[in-house]
Amino acid sequence: MKRTYLPLLAFMAGAGAAGLLPSAWGSSVFEAEPLAEGRVMITSQPLSNNQWRLMVIEASSPDATCWRKHSGGRLEMLNATANSQCQTYTSSSGYSARVDGNDLSRSWRLRVEPAGNQLILELINPATDMSLVVGRAPRSESGMTAFVLESGWQPAKRTYQGKALQHLYLNNSDPLPALMARARHNGNLIARPPALPPALPGAGPVARASSNTAYRSGITTSTGPIALQVIPYRP
């Protein structure tokens, strides 16, 4: 029987995340099979506009050569996309997080965020502004670097009734409230600002800035009734 974490739930309520925890519970129809060390590489692919995409590379066997690591954490792919022994996953359809035996793919997602000279691999629920650090990597504008996962996280293969599927987990056996409480203690719980609403079509920089400021402060820019033109009715 699983232990309950009522004190931790109360603690997380103060962090504004307790309402998100129930989405993680419930038995998963899938299982997880741990992968041997050296079979999986967690990395990121640089995109435009200061953005990165998470990329997970899986080698079919310990002997398959899919990447080469260089100094400074830089990573070189060795024809992984063209090699049948190397499988790459670049979207949430190919990877997700699994915590305490529960698949979090429905409500939580993994993403890469820059932070100074580092890249942070985060687990985040879009409904909250809090994210859990899963791994860190050196930041490189010109190439890929390897993530070092936080303690307790390890790659695993999603399985169904004993059959391996084309989906990888970042797996942690600890309950989610315990993970978040520990992350808050050691600085691995990060507050992110909520996403801004899209700007109106044709709005210039000043209008967008004004709209964003009003959104952040929770106020509207209206100062009173709006006068409308009245057109007389003519039969």
The pLDDT tens digits for 75-87 are 888 765 555 788 8
Task: Calculate mean pLDDT across residues 175-189.
Answer: 91
Cα angle vertex 203, ends 53, 48, to 5°? 20
Is residue 217 one of the residues assigned to a domain?
no
What is the C-alpha separation between 115 and 138, in angstroms, rounded?
Answer: 10
What is the C-alpha separation between 179 and 20, in angstroms, rounded?
Answer: 14
Cβ neighbourhood burial of 52 (10 Å; 0-12, 13-18, 19+):
buried
What is the C-alpha separation between 218 and 221, in angstroms, rounded?
Answer: 10
Q: How far is CA 138 from the centre of its chain?
A: 17
Is residue 183 one of the residues assigned to a domain?
yes
Taken as a whole, the chain contains a residue count of 235
- Confidence bin at 200 (pLDDT 50/70/90): low
- Confidence bin at 194 (pLDDT 50/70/90): low
Give the number of domains in the chain: 1
The whole domain housing 118 covers: 6-191
- pTM, two decimal places: 0.69
Is residue 227 one of the residues assigned to a domain?
no
Is residue 97 one of the residues assigned to a domain?
yes
Q: For residue range 19-73, list pLDDT tens digits in order.
A: 344 344 345 789 999 998 789 999 998 888 888 999 999 988 777 788 888 777 7
